[in-house]
């Protein structure tokens, strides 16, 4: 990951290359960044991921399977946001994942303040990885930093490979793009290479991985990625002077 880019709040990260994202300097986003910074400080001892995508791209299914695979290796907690219902948290809990639902009351994204409040209900001392499942939306969540270490965006095979260029801010601010539902690639006109190239034009640092939660393709690499990032975060924390 480019450290210089990571140091900047995601809400006002500068565009790369020819893609123009509007410069968001709204007070609302400044307030959000302030809370996001407080979250970062409080969660300095764990890996924090912000999972974004369009509705239905497979976020919850991925986290159900991720929880099963990481059980006994990393303590994982999930905060899942939806405009209404606690269905996703219920699904995750049924899969044995420690999950808490954030109902946004119709809002199209999670804000840092919602995460900060939810942290009071998580056993932070015994959590290695906190995963936030954002509200399904490729636009609004892109502007709100939630204090995450990495943003991971799913783009499912059925959505079309043209989305990175159409929704650039999400891909500009993500470190990893997961091409989800890769088991459907033989049946739909979707080029993993084209999507990956477009995403790289917007954000040269973005990594791409094709996964199928149902068939298991790419799941070992995805879980290895989480383990590696969790370990790196721990090493970073240990390298800091203890207060
Ligand atoms: N073929 C296929 N279907 C999948 C895969 N992963 C998830 N699905 C299906 O995609 C649908 C949506 O999955 P969810 O996990 O609910 O998607 P989501 O992104 O959490 O949806 P929202 O929270 O509503 O935005 C479900 O019917 C899943 O069974 C996959 O790898 N392959
Ligand atoms: Mg979901």
159-218: per-residue pLDDT in tens? 999 999 999 999 999 999 999 999 999 999 999 999 999 999 999 999 999 999 999 999
3-class SS at 14?
coil
* Pocket of ligand 1 contains residue 217 by CB under 6 Å: no
Range of the domain at 91: 28-225
Question: What's the per-residue H, E or C state across 154-182?
Answer: EEEHHHCCCHHHHCHHHHHCCCEEEEECH
pLDDT per residue as tens digits for the range 45-78: 999 999 999 999 999 999 999 999 999 999 999 9
Residue 83, Cβ density class (10 Å: 0-12 exposed, 13-18 middle, ≥19 buried): middle
The CATH number of the domain where 199 resides is what? 3.40.50.300
The answer to whether position 8 is within a domain reads no
The answer to whether position 6 is within a domain reads no
Domain count, the chain: 1
The answer to whether position 160 is within a domain reads yes
The answer to whether position 4 is within a domain reads no
The answer to whether position 139 is within a domain reads yes
The answer to whether position 20 is within a domain reads no
Q: Which helix (H) or strand (E) segment is 202 a member of?
A: helix 192-202
Measured CA to CA, the distance from residue 117 to residue 94 in angstroms comes to: 24
- For residue 88, report the distance from its CA to the centre of ligand 2, in Å: 5
Residue of the CA atom closest to atom 30 of ligand 1: 181
Q: Which of 58, 94, 107 to mutate to test the pocket of ligand 1 (most atoms within 8 A of CB)?
A: 58
The answer to whether position 40 is within a domain reads yes
The answer to whether position 240 is within a domain reads no
Question: How many angstroms separate the Cα of 108 from the Cα of each of 3, 67, 93?
Answer: 29, 25, 23
Residues 22, 143, 37: CA angle, nearest 5 degrees: 125
């Amino acid at each position: 990951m480019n450290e210089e880019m990571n140091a900047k709040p995601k809400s006002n990260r500068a565009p790369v290359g020819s893609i123009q994202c509007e410069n968001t300097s709204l007070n609302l986003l400044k307030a959000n960044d302030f809370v996001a910074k407080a979250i970062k400080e409080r969660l300095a001892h764990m890996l924090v991921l912000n999972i974004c995508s369009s509705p239905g791209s497979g976020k919850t299914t991925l986290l159900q399977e991720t929880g099963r695979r990481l059980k006994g290796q990393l303590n994982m907690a999930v905060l899942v946001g939806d405009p209404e219902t606690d269905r996703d948290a219920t699904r995750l809990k049924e899969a044995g994942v420690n999950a808490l639902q954030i109902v946004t009351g119709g809002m199209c994204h999670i804000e840092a303040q919602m995460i900060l409040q939810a942290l009071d209900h998580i056993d932070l001392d015994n959590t290695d990885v906190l995963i936030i499942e954002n509200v399904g939306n490729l636009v609004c969540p892109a502007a709100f930093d939630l204090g995450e270490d990495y943003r991971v965006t799913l783009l499912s095979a059925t959505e079309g490979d043209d989305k990175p260029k159409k929704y650039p801010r999400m891909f500009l601010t993500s470190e990893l793009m997961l091409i989800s539902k890769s088991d459907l690639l033989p049946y739909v006109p979707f080029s993993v290479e084209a999507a990956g190239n477009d995403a790289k034009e917007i954000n040269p640092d973005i990594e791409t991985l094709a996964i199928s939660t149902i068939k298991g393709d790419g799941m070992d690499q995805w879980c290895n990625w989480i383990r590696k990032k969790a370990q790196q975060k721990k090493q970073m924390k240990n390298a800091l002077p203890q207060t």
